[in-house]
Amino acid sequence: IIFLIGLMINAFLVKQLYQLMEKILKHIPLVKTLYNALLDMFTFFDAQKTGNEQQRVVVVQTQLGKQIGLVTRETLDNLPDALGDKKNVLVFLPFSYQIGGFMISMPRSQIEPIDMTVDEAVTFVASAGIIGKRTAGKS
């Protein structure tokens, strides 16, 4: 019983400490922006496990060649018209070895879905292609 009480108190204290640290981080100007962006990105990846259909891995043709991208929005509803119309999707093109990338609006016809999970794609891109499995018979 004493052990269980200790676990409950420890869990409560850790939760309170986490909330306090988060509150502090959200009040520091530059840190707040980066912290919120990272939280949003992690939420995006966690939502992949819940079956969110909008999260899919695609290949896009750019001036630099083919790049792996993550579709972040299938529709541009509630966004400025300058971003595109119903034929466009938002695609995030992550950088290798960095936290960051480009978000672009592009025609749906210019993206090609590939058979990778978001986790596999992010690992592959973050490692500059060093880490990643290759399925037999696929190129």
Tens-digit pLDDT profile for residues 54-80: 578 899 988 888 888 888 888 777 777
Q: How confident is the model at residue 124 (pLDDT cuts 50, 70, 90)?
A: confident
Is 0.85 surpassed by the pTM of this model?
Answer: no
**pLDDT reported for residue 136:** 40
Kindly tell me if the per-residue pLDDT of 50 is higher than 50.
no
Res 54: pLDDT: 53
Sign of the CA dihedral 118, 109, 135, 102? negative
* Cβ proximity of 76 and 90 under 8 Å: yes
% of the chain with per-residue pLDDT over 70: 82
Token pair of 33 as six digits? 């922006």
- The three-point CA angle 132-115-37 to 5° equals 70
